[in-house]
Amino acid sequence: MKDFFKLKENKTNVSTEILAGLTTFFTMAYVIFVNPAILSLNPGMPWQGIFIATILASAFGTLIMSLYANVPFALAPGMGANAFFTFTLCKQMGFSWHEALVVVFICGLFIIMITVTKLRKTIIQAIPDFLKDSISGGIGMFIAYIGFKNASFLTFLSDVGRYNILENGNVITDSSALPALAIFNNLHALLGLIGLILMVALIIKKVKGAIFIGIIGAILIGIPMGVVDTSKVKFFDLGSLVAIKDVAFAAFDNAGIGSLFSDINKIILTATAILALLLSVTFDAICTFIGTGRISGIFDTKNENNLMQKKGFNSKFEKALFSDGIASAISGLFGTSSVTTYVESASGISVGGRTGLTGLIVAIMFLLCLPFGNLFSIVPPEATAPALIIVGVLMMASIMKVNWTDYEQAFPAFLTISVMAFAFNISYGIAAGFIFYCIVKLVRGKIKEVHPILAGTSLLFLTNFIIIAFRG
């Protein structure tokens, strides 16, 4: 084990790596609760199946990173990616969850492709840094908004008679609908508030695994409140493992790939969805690697230069990105949203994790949770919602890098963030930022500064908006 993971070469030892693995797991273990809570909002997508898929995809992706790249990064379905899956692909774009899994799988294949070619360099350099930071901040706002909704913190008011009820039961209203803060005489909202206060307190106190501990605390508090129902729970249920059959490889049945590519009208929409998800997942992984790798010394300047200048796998950085791409594609097969490298890996790195042995411990911990799906299914959304708000807060840090006094940056950045949150659509936010960046450059006579890839992407987004307008 010492030789395989090169512990001595990386100036670490077995005990340090085990501690780092446990720290990382408990810091990111909230995904076990939160990912099924978000994806199961899609009609017909079973909670138990998503739970098993989440664990298997996380364990598999982390094992690839551990054994192939030998770096201490853990993977799991991304918080932005699962929100994109449910609220953009399914609810906004109209894909079924089977079709959305196809989008996830294809996106993963593209990530693999751009990792083994120089196309990765071109895409990364085509998009200005301030837009990348805006996308991260916008996703943070989007996720936090979901947290507020799931925590029962919001109510919505609409003028009488200014709405339409659709055949599927959904209601369309106009801009007269306004959000309002809930009255906290509701036990569900109170539990969400208690959970949020608990998590914030733990984070401020710098408690390891604060989000995970906060969720557990909210669940326990919710039992005497009557919000958590424990009457039918089984604490250990190996039979729940068969639930994976309900979502695994669902992308390849008739309701998935057979349906997605049978409708020519969905081609542009599908391309737009894949592109938006590709950008989000790619930048998320690269920023995580660079941000934590530089500080810890896991990835040095030579690694980053190889990423931008060479093909193939010449460094740990290259292998880590390839592992991330493989995991992203495989997640669609397991039946969950895109797996990505978790920034929470920094918690394990901070206590000395330097090799893939850290990731191996994380993967084992995920697998040990498999028989407890029935137990976890009692978790109410109000217990996990505060975690989304906290994640949103953490992701907002990226907007500090935007030069808000420069209108060439401010307008596209603000529209990226605001449209993403207010229109409740991640891809629309990215589209707004890209399109207005091109408009600003055109007005300033600097259109030549816009990279052809960014310009082409903006044109694709614009075409999609025009098609939607004519359909409406």
Return d(Cα 326, Cα 61) in angstroms, integer: 8
Predicted confidence (pLDDT) at residue 181 exceeds the cutoff of 60? yes
End-to-end CA distance of the chain: 61
Q: What one-letter code names the amino acid at 9?
A: E
Return d(Cα 383, Cα 217) in angstroms, integer: 8
Return d(Cα 140, Cα 128) in angstroms, integer: 19
pTM: 0.73
Return d(Cα 127, Cα 305) in angstroms, integer: 18
Predicted confidence (pLDDT) at residue 336 exceeds the cutoff of 80? yes
Instruction: Say which range, 28-37, 238-247, 310-319, 419-428, has the weakest mean pLDDT.
Output: 310-319
Instruction: Say which range, 124-128, 172-176, 423-427, has the weakest mean pLDDT.
Output: 172-176
Q: Residue 191: phi, psi to the nearest 5?
A: -65, -40
Return d(Cα 266, Cα 278) in angstroms, integer: 18
What the block records as the tokens of 386 is: 């505060």
Mean pLDDT of the 148-155 span: 88
Return the exposure string of 393-410: e unless at least 16 CB atoms fall within 10 Å of the residue's CB, then b. Answer: bbbbebbeebeeeeebbb
Q: How confident is the model at residue 167 (pLDDT cuts 50, 70, 90)?
A: very low
Instruction: Say which range, 132-141, 452-461, 462-471, has the weakest mean pLDDT.
Output: 462-471
Higher pLDDT, 242 or 63: 63
Instruction: Say which range, 27-31, 153-157, 167-171, 349-353, has the weakest mean pLDDT.
Output: 167-171
Cα distances (Å, whole numbers) of residue 18 to 55, 243, 287, 354, 362: 19, 31, 25, 11, 9
Mean pLDDT of the 178-185 span: 85
Instruction: Say which range, 136-150, 236-250, 295-309, 421-435, has the weakest mean pLDDT.
Output: 295-309
What the block records as the tokens of 242 is: 């068969």
List residues bridging with 181 in a β-sheet: 154
Instruction: Say which range, 14-28, 144-158, 159-173, 369-383, has the weakest mean pLDDT.
Output: 159-173
Cα distances (Å, whole numbers) of residue 150 to 41, 88, 134, 146, 214: 11, 17, 24, 6, 16
Q: What is the pLDDT of residues 197-214, one digit of tens each?
A: 999 999 999 887 788 888
Predicted confidence (pLDDT) at residue 32 exceeds the cutoff of 50? yes
Return d(Cα 276, Cα 458) in angstroms, integer: 11
pLDDT at 168: 44
Domain boundaries, the chain: 14-471
Place of tokens 């840090």: 397
Return d(Cα 213, Cα 23) in angstroms, integer: 12
Max Cα-Cα span within the chain: 71
pLDDT at 118: 66
Q: How confident is the model at residue 175 (pLDDT cuts 50, 70, 90)?
A: low
Q: For the residues of 173-194, what is the DSSP string, one character each?
A: E-TT-EEEEPPTTSHHHHHHHH
